[in-house]
Amino acid sequence: MFTEVKNMKVYEQIINQFKDMIAKGLLKKGDKLPSERELVSQLGVSRTGIREALSALQMIGLVESRHGEGNYIKDNLEDSLKDPFLLIFMLNGGKFHEILEFRKGIEIETAALAANKIQDDEIVILKDILHRLDNAECEEVKVKLDKELHYLIAKASKNILIINLLNVNSSLMDIFISEARGKILSKKENRECLLKQHKDIVDAISNHDSFNASKAMRRHLDFIEKYIYNMK
């Protein structure tokens, strides 16, 4: 399965073998990896090299070590890249408005994709979330449902890059506005505005109307953007 490695840095060689095996479909989500001992003998490298490669793969959220069971390719890769992304964003002196701009770009197009690709069962869930959002009293629940709504729209786009990056982006946002989200939702007049906006988005997506889905999403994100900037 794996073959012996030479020359380059050990961890690079191992990562390259992973790449090959993934590309060939030999290594899939949820798969158990050979033990460290087995990897050492299959690849003919040092245990240190193996450990370096494995920790690198853990750090990017690709491999998880289950206590007493060994190492696995993660089943759910939606949250991967969060840490690396955050580090690079900070090192580049990234500003909050860049996160919003980025989100806007992706999410407006995502609404259109979702309108084209959403399945009937997803529409039912989407409408249910909207209904619960309408009736929720507790701020915390509202924040949670709001996130769920946006997440489901991303999922309905069926685009794994978009799902992954909107997730990562959402956790970046949380760092900056963990409280802001609650504040926006807690004011009665905003609550009504936001509910109307969410309803327009859900309606357009449910009607497979990609043009109006994008438009409604843009209106929604413009509103949030303005609100956050005025708050600061």
Give the interface with its own copies as residue ranges (CB under 8 A): 9, 11-12, 15, 18-19, 22-23, 27-29, 48, 51-53, 55-62, 73, 77, 80-81, 83-94, 98-99, 101-102, 104-110, 113, 157, 159-162, 164-165, 169
Q: Which is nearer to its own copies, 98 or 134 (CB)?
A: 98
64: Cβ–Cβ under 8 A, 6 or more apart, which residues?
58, 71, 72, 74
Q: How far is the CB of 41 from its own copies (least distance, A)?
A: 20
Q: Which is nearer to its own copies, 124 or 160 (CB)?
A: 160
Q: How far is the CB of 13 from its own copies (least distance, A)?
A: 12
Q: Which is nearer to its own copies, 101 or 134 (CB)?
A: 101
Q: How far is the CB of 25 from its own copies (least distance, A)?
A: 9
- Alpha-carbon distance of 70 to 74, in angstroms, equals 12
Q: How far is the CB of 70 from its own copies (least distance, A)?
A: 15
- Alpha-carbon distance of 152 to 138, in angstroms, equals 21
Q: How far is the CB of 50 from its own copies (least distance, A)?
A: 10
Helices (H) and strands (E) in the chain, counts: 11, 2
Helix axes 139-156 and 160-177, enclosed angle (nearest 10): 160
Q: Which is nearer to its own copies, 108 or 149 (CB)?
A: 108
- Alpha-carbon distance of 70 to 91, in angstroms, equals 33
| Closest CA relative to residue 58, chosen from 69, 48, 72 | 72
